[in-house]
């Protein structure tokens, strides 16, 4: 970064919108993945779409790479700046722009915190259903850029389902209005959905129009003990057949052991190897209890409890939501995978055997959104194992795990994105033809390769 570059940047950004001190560079230059060196050149804070547009034009002129930064809660390394890139933080673009009661939509700036958007919807008598553990610090622009999932996908779908419109600044330095807030539009290629999940590689999202829905009635939460992995899908299917499920989460006993070490209490008298958290509307509670009793008689459920208040429901949810935080100190190597629900029983069995065989000396904490086929696998680093050796071992097993996923027609990343972490393994989910089309699409929107370069795939085909 030369003095000339910096002076030109200061022509349209104020001094307070540019940071280059070492602490800021480290803080804003990374996400939750701690496997890569951090080496940005500057942090900039646009306050509106015009600032972003000028940034992209400046970056094109000088061939300077830009990396988008939201809440930095990602788990794939998509927001990491390690090659002297300029980090573009959207935290100052955090305003509610419009509430449209007729269309039941919220239009917000990209830097709005997810939980704040949920609150704005509730204040207007509506519900924004995208929900996950990091919602208190993640930003809407990042949610859209990674097509964030969460615990309610089974009922409401992922972020993609709730986006009605986007304002984006492309790598060409053009502002596009995508979707136009419409429910129906059959006019050719849908660029709105192309940008959802693109991880900032085509352009930067500056504004999002989100649909909201009616608030669910009072919810009840079950916590169920399960003795056999093979029974999980049977339990899910029996409930799903008769009751609309808002969530159906699976956790292992090891996962909850770590959560309990943080002070949380398991409200069951019998310890089980697996647990299910199920959320339903109270109107279906009696029907759910009948199914529960039948499954208990059949031995598929070994123990269970039902929340009696909103506070108890939150306590049960805390067991699930605190898993990642409870193991963070063990530097877990994370995998976020998924297969079709119909293939889960056999897949779960084979993956369980694979993990036990390949990681006999490592503790493996896993949990998942059984209702959408998504599993989260966390391998914990032992204190006596060097980090580079640990990573190398995990990457070795990745080849076996992802080959299994490829065999089952699944995905190497269900909701965390690709970023840097999953880039070497993209071919296990995407064909070479698909990846080549992705490269060509990027060239159209980002001809100079300045928008989050090196993420998802290499811009040029390897030889």
Helix (H) / strand (E) containing 7: helix 3-9
- Name 33's Cβ contacts closer than 8 Å, sequence gap at least 6: 74, 75, 76, 77, 80, 419, 420, 421
DSSP state of 159: G
Cα gap 356→378, rounded to integer Å:
13
| DSSP H helical ranges for 108-190 | 114-123, 140-146, 153-156
CA–CA distance, 248 with 37 (Å, rounded to integer): 37
For residue 391, how many other CB atoms are within 10 A of its CB?
16
Contact indicator for 321, 376 with CB cutoff of 8 Å: no
Half-sphere exposure of 193 (CA within 13 A, CB side): 8
pLDDT value for 462 = 40
Q: What is the distance between the alpha carbons of residues 115 and 138, in angstroms, rounded to a whole number? A: 8
Other C-beta atoms lying within 10 Å of the C-beta of residue 290: 11
Alpha-helical (H) ranges within 339-431 are 344-358, 387-407
Residue with tokens 């070492």: 22
188 contact partners, CB below 8 Å, separation of at least 6: none
What is the dihedral angle through the alpha carbons of 77, 82, 83, 88, rounded to the nearest 10 degrees? 70
* Helices marked H in 159-264: 191-195, 232-242, 253-260
- DSSP-derived letter for residue 14 is -
Question: What's the CA gap between 302 and 296, in Å, rounded?
Answer: 6
Sign, Cα dihedral of 177, 124, 244, 343: positive
CA terminus-to-terminus distance, the chain: 31
Q: Is the dihedral of CA 269, 271, 272, 278 positive or negative?
A: positive
Query: Regarding beta strands 203-211 and 105-109, do their DSSP bridges make them parallel or antiparallel, or are they unpaired?
Result: antiparallel
Q: What is the pLDDT of residue 34?
A: 83
Extended strands (E) in 187-301: 203-211, 213-214, 219-226, 247-252, 274-281
Paired strand residues for 107: 98, 209
Digitized pLDDT (tens) for each residue of the chain, 463 residues in all: 788 999 999 999 999 999 999 999 999 999 988 889 999 999 999 999 999 999 999 999 999 999 999 999 999 999 999 999 999 999 999 999 999 999 999 999 999 999 999 999 999 999 999 999 899 999 999 999 999 999 999 999 999 999 999 999 999 999 999 999 999 999 999 999 999 999 999 999 999 999 999 999 899 999 999 999 889 999 999 999 999 999 999 999 999 999 999 999 999 999 999 999 999 999 999 999 999 999 999 999 999 999 999 999 999 999 999 999 999 899 899 999 999 998 998 998 899 899 999 999 899 999 999 889 999 999 999 999 999 999 999 999 999 999 999 999 999 999 999 999 999 999 999 999 999 999 999 999 999 999 999 999 987 754 2
Among 92, 86, 46, which residue's Cα sits nearest to residue 64?
86
pLDDT of residue 413: 95
Question: What 3-state DSSP class applies to 257?
Answer: helix
Question: Facing residues of 249 across strands?
Answer: 277, 369
Return the sign of the alpha-carbon dihedral for residues 183, 187, 191, 197: positive
pLDDT of 214 reads 95
State the pTM of this model: 0.92
CB contact at 8 A, 172 and 437: no
- pLDDT at position 461: 56
Token representation of residue 291: 């199914």
Q: How many CB atoms are located within 10 Å of the residue 117 CB?
A: 23
Cα separation, 451 vs 442, in Å, equals 9
């Amino acid at each position: 970064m030369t003095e000339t570059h910096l002076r030109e940047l200061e022509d349209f950004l104020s001094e307070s919108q540019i940071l280059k001190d070492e602490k800021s560079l480290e803080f804003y230059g990374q996400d939750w993945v701690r496997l890569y060196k951090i080496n940005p050149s500057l942090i900039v804070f646009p306050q509106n779409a015009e600032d972003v547009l000028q940034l992209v034009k400046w970056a094109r002129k000088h061939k300077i790479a830009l990396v988008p930064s939201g809440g930095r809660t990602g788990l794939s390394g998509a927001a990491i700046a390690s090659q002297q890139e300029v980090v573009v933080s959207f935290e100052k673009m955090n305003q509610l722009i419009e509430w449209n009661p007729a269309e039941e939509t919220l239009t917000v700036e990209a830097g709005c915190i997810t939980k704040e958007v949920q609150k704005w919807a509730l204040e207007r008598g509506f519900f924004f259903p995208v929900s996950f553990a990091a919602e208190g610090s993640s930003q809407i622009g990042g949610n859209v850029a990674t097509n964030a999932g969460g615990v309610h996908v089974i009922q409401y779908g992922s972020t993609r389902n709730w986006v009605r419109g986007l304002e984006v600044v492309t790598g060409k330095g053009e502002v596009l209005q995508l979707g136009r807030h419409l429910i129906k539009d059959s006019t050719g290629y849908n660029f709105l959905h192309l940008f959802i999940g693109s991880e900032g590689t085509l352009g930067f999202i500056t504004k999002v129009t989100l649909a909201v829905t009616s608030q669910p009635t009072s919810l009840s939460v079950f916590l169920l003990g399960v003795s056999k992995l093979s029974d999980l899908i049977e339990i899910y299917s029996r409930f799903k057949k008769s009751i609309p499920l808002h969530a159906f989460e699976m956790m292992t006993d090891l996962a909850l052991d770590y959560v309990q070490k943080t002070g949380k209490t398991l409200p069951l008298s019998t310890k089980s190897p697996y647990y299910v958290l199920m959320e339903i509307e109270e109107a279906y509670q009696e029907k759910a209890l009948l199914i529960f009793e039948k499954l208990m008689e059949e031995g598929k459920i070994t123990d269970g409890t039902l929340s009696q208040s909103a506070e108890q429901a939150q306590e049960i949810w805390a067991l699930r939501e605190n898993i990642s935080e409870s193991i963070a100190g063990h530097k877990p190597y994370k995998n976020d995978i998924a297969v079709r629900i119909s293939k889960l029983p056999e897949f779960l069995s084979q993956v369980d055997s694979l993990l036990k065989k390949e990681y006999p000396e490592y503790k493996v904490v896993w949990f998942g959104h059984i209702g959408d086929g998504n599993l989260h696998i966390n391998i914990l680093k032992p204190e006596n194992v060097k980090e580079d050796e640990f990573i190398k071992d995990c990457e070795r097993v990745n080849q076996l795990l992802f080959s299994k996923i490829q065999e089952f027609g699944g995905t190497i990343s269900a909701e965390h994105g690709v970023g840097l972490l999953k880039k070497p393994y993209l071919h296990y989910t995407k064909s070479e033809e698909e990846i080549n089309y992705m490269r060509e699409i990027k060239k159209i929107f980002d001809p100079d390769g300045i928008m989050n370069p090196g993420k998802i795939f290499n811009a040029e085909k390897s030889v």
